[in-house]
Amino acid sequence: MDTSTAEADRQTLVRFIEEAFVCAQACERCAAACLPAIGPDEPEQWSRVDVRCAEICERTARMLSRHPGFAAPELYAQVEMCANACAEQVDRLAPYVGSEGRATLQANACAECEKHCRDLLGSLA
Q: Got the DSSP string for 46-72?
A: HHHHHHHHHHHHHHHHHHHHH-TT--H
CA of 113: how far to CAs of 4, 38, 53, 109, 118, in Å?
A: 24, 26, 11, 6, 9
Q: Are 50 and 27 in contact (CB under 8 A)?
A: yes
List, for residues 9-60, the tens digit of each pLDDT value: 778 788 888 888 888 888 887 777 665 554 555 555 556 778 888 889 888 8
* pLDDT for residue 38: 47
Residues whose CB is less than 8 angstroms from the CB of residue 53 and which lie 6 or more positions away in sequence, other chains included? 23, 24, 27, 85, 86, 88, 89, 110
Give the whole-angstrom CA distance, residue 56 versus residue 45.
16
* Confidence category of residue 4, pLDDT binned at 50, 70, 90: very low
Instruction: Count the neighbouring beta carbons within 10 Å of the beta carbon of residue 74.
Output: 11
